[in-house]
Amino acid sequence: MENLIKQTATAKLSLDGKNIDLPVYSGSLGAPAIDVRGLYKTSGHFTFDPGYTSTCSTESQITFIDGGKGQLLYRGYPIEQLAEKSTFLEVSYLLIHGELPNKKQNTEFTNTITQHTMLHDQIESFFHGFRRDAHPMAMMCGTVGALSGFYHDDTHTTVDDARNVAMHRLIAKIPTIAARAYKYSIGQPHVFPDNSLNYAENFLNMCFSVPAAPYHVSPTISRAMDKIFILHADHEQNASTSTVRLAGSSGANPYACIAAGIACLWGPSHGGANEACLNMLREIGSVDRIPEFIARAKDKNDPFRLMGFGHRVYKNFDPRSRVMQKVAHEVLDELGIRNPVLDVAKELEKIALEDEYFIEKKLYPNVDFYSGIVLSALGFPTSMFTVLFALARTVGWISQWNEMLEDPSQRIGRPRQLYTGPTQRDFVPMEER
């Protein structure tokens, strides 16, 4: 990765009688940034930004979001076009390498991924160590982290070839692990990967086929699954991606870094929102109960939030949510399902978008609002929703991890703090406390 930031202005800070010049950098898109790296040295002051609402943690050339326009670009390509015209593996190549693959590159990349889909046979015993009712995300965290115990040859992050092998292994094996966790949780025998199937078909086959009967996945359904993976692939420096980058900045091996990302994504404010959103829509149950839940979401004394609504960056619509709504209709029509929850979701969206509170706080449906309805229609239990998010986001995490390791300005991440605890005091013996 070549650093492409350029200084385009200078910010002047007047502090304690000193005038401090701070470089202002511009990228190719988005807000300019004030470089505060030298601030502590020149002023003895830190910046304070819990939650990083105004802080760039890195330069990146992978994904760009314009929250005001509802725009999401993967290496410059709009998410709507990629979801419509591309495939998840093609998008994976784009995220990692920066360009859409030509036919030869796409064939080679697809074959490489296909050859890595199987798990080491001893990983089998990992699953049998979990309780049957363990959340599949617990199995994902544990199993992905343990992969570093099986693949010592590609944990040397400073070696390009080792990093490439690790990235290919993770993209290839994450569906196998996800499907394995699902089968284990429902007490069915696991299904091996089938290299004659494409990425989405193979995943659906590993999840839903059983030895007792033939299984055929419809092209509409596998195409919908592939689109869902594309929509979830990457999203700038969100919480889980920042977790992966921070873990990777210490030189931790790629499997440990991705396991850290999975753990972070699991939170209900992040990737866990799709599971929470569908549970909320089911709890609402009918259109006439929507006002009750809208009122609760607006009540400061009620911790309830409208799951699937709001976003740190999107202050207009989340483009992924619009594509996901279309996918919901395609899947439900293909399967001939009349899902009343979809009616509740559409009415809830309509009412919320006309409500002053949501308008004032710029709260719109995000990627998680419709995804649960689609995933449920595809046959997944809510406990698998965040697993599918993690499956797709793995390619975003490894692309960002790889970019960080190739960044010549990369250093170990080590934020500072504003300390408000006790000043120094002497130890008090037990008899005097």
Catalytic residues: 311, 368
Binder to ligand SDX among 97, 116, 190, 270 (CB under 6 A)? 270
Tokens representing 72 are 């999401």
Under the binding rule (CB under 6 A), the answer on residue 97 touching ligand SDX is: no
| 209 versus 394: smaller Cβ distance to ligand SDX | 394
Q: Rounded to an integer, what distance in angstroms lies between the CA atom of residue 24 and that of residue 44?
A: 20
Within 13 Å, how many C-alpha atoms sit on residue 315's CB side?
7
To ligand SDX, the closest distance from the beta carbon of 362 in angstroms equals 8
Q: Rounded to an integer, what distance in angstroms lies between the CA atom of residue 27 and that of residue 60?
A: 9
Under the binding rule (CB under 6 A), the answer on residue 273 touching ligand SDX is: yes
Under the binding rule (CB under 6 A), the answer on residue 86 touching ligand SDX is: no
Tokens representing 243 are 């977790």
| 151 versus 358: smaller Cβ distance to ligand SDX | 358
Under the binding rule (CB under 6 A), the answer on residue 297 touching ligand SDX is: yes
Residue nearest to ligand SDX (CB): 310
Residues 357-416 that bind ligand SDX (CB under 6 A): 361, 363, 366-368
| 301 versus 423: smaller Cβ distance to ligand SDX | 301
Please classify residue 378 by burial: count the beta carbons closer than 10 Å to its beta carbon, then call 0-12 exposed, 13-18 middle and 19+ buried.
buried
Tokens representing 142 are 């544990």
Strand (E) or helix (H) holding 297 = helix 290-298
Beta bridge partners of 26: 6
To ligand SDX, the closest distance from the beta carbon of 364 in angstroms equals 10
Binding piece for ligand SDX, criterion CB under 6 A, among 81-89, 185-193, 310-318, 330-338: 310-318
Under the binding rule (CB under 6 A), the answer on residue 312 touching ligand SDX is: yes
Strand spans (E) along 46-116: 63-66, 71-74, 77-78
Identify the residue whose tokens are 């209900």. Answer: 268
Residues that bind ligand SDX (rule: CB under 6 A) add up to a total of 20
Q: Rounded to an integer, what distance in angstroms lies between the CA atom of residue 217 and that of residue 208?
A: 9
| 110 versus 274: smaller Cβ distance to ligand SDX | 274
What is the contact surface with ligand SDX in residues (CB under 6 A)?
Answer: 235, 238, 269-271, 273, 297, 305-312, 361, 363, 366-368
